[in-house]
């Protein structure tokens, strides 16, 4: 198994909000990155946004021109899981759905080299259950980045029941190579951050749903009242309302407490395709016409 400094080739699956940022970080750390998505349009968007983000850093003098162009060149878009056969580490960042992720882990287990580490960027799903879909549970681990990965300083590492000490050590040092601070969580629903954050976001939806206040006042209240950089409704839009709903369902099913039951307004927004900033509309509109949903 590769140690952190030997991790040379990184596969990233899912080129959405998170996967594109993770690919950028790995490329900037000198790794060859293989970026895979089921949707070729997502890959094109990811390459455009990574290039723009790295060039912005170069323009600000935070990255040399050579490092910027080198990082862009180190990212190769691929179209099948087989293309990841030489990866030392694969980081999965596809849709937050346990069955879909498990199916992918089964495939990855078959095609990646025996020494490869398989990591999931899941926000809430059990690493132990994902690992049990493979024949290498000791090499499966949670590597939970925050949005947007190039900016946010934290990686939450989740050990499954069988994750080995060597794999944990390799992923921890690799995370530090990406210049992130690491925290370690046991494998419980929502881990540390989302277990605490999602009930707050859900409560903000309940406050909006029951007419306690406007969305602006809820967000301003939490920004200025608790010194958060953005309010919970805006944060939910940035995370993706579909992701928030999936995490709440995992918390609700896994911990069995009604306090995690998703607010009907959040469910309704997701049903209506109002998924947040990535779709141009969620609780707020982002340069796109809002639908007629209330409030
Ligand atoms: P996203 O919706 O922006 O991107 C997901 C991408 O995965 C899409 O481009 C989709 O085409 C692709 N995809 C879906 N199924 C696939 C498959 N079977 N094979 C290949 N590609 C597939 O979602 P986002 O926000 O990037 O989230 C991805 C993962 O990261 C989820 O597990 C989510 O819970 C987690 N996460 C999300 C955070 C956030 O703030 N949005 C923060 C931390 C983790």
Report pTM: 0.93
The pLDDT value recorded for residue 288 is 52
- In the block, tokens 């409560």 appear at 203
**Does the beta carbon of 96 sit less than 6 angstroms from any atom of ligand 1?**
yes
The closest alpha carbon to 172, from 185, 181, 163, 164, belongs to 181
Boundaries of every domain in the chain: 4-185, 196-279
| 144 in catalytic set | yes
Does 123 contact ligand 1 (Cβ within 6 A)?
yes
CA distances (Å), origin 51, targets 21, 28, 38, 258 = 11, 11, 21, 44
Q: CATH fold of 196-279, please?
A: 1.10.1040
- Domain 4-185: CATH architecture, name and number where available: 3-Layer(aba) Sandwich (3.40)
**Is residue 156 flagged as an active site residue?**
yes
For tokens 């990255």, name the residue: 63
What are the pLDDT digits (tens) for 66-98? 999 999 999 999 999 999 999 999 999 999 999
Active site residue 132: no
Question: Taking the CA atoms of the chain, what radius of gyration do you get in angstroms?
Answer: 19
ipTM greater than 0.95:
yes
Selected residue with higher pLDDT from 272 and 1: 272
């Amino acid at each position: 198994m590769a140690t952190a400094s030997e991790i040379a080739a990184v596969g990233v699956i899912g080129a959405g909000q998170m996967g594109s940022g993770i690919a950028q970080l790995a490329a900037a750390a000198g790794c060859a990155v293989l970026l895979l998505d089921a949707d070729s349009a997502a890959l094109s968007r990811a390459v455009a946004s990574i290039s723009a983000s790295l060039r912005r850093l170069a323009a600000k003098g935070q990255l040399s021109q050579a490092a910027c162009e080198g990082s862009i060149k180190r990212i190769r878009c691929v179209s099948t899981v087989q293309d990841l056969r030489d990866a030392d580490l694969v980081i999965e960042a596809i849709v937050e759905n346990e069955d879909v992720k498990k199916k992918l882990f089964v495939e990855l287990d078959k095609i990646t080299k025996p020494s490869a580490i398989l990591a999931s960027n899941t926000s809430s799903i059990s690493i132990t259950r994902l690992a049990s879909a493979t024949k290498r549970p000791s090499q499966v681990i949670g590597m939970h980045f925050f949005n947007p990965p190039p900016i946010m300083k934290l990686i939450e590492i989740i050990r499954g029941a069988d994750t080995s000490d060597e794999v944990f050590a390799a992923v921890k040092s690799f995370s530090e190579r990406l210049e992130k601070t690491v925290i370690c969580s046991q494998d419980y629903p929502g881990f540390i951050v989302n277990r605490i954050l999602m009930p707050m976001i859900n409560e903000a939806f309940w406050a909006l749903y029951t007419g306690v206040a406007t969305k602006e006042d809820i967000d301003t209240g939490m920004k200025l009242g608790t010194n958060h950089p953005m309010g919970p409704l805006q944060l939910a839009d940035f995370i993706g309302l579909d992701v928030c709903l999936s995490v709440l369902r995992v918390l609700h099913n896994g911990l069995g407490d009604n306090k995690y039951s998703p607010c009907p307004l959040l469910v309704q927004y997701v049903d209506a395709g109002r998924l947040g900033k990535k779709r141009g509309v969620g609780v707020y509109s982002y340069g796109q016409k809002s639908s007629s949903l209330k409030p």
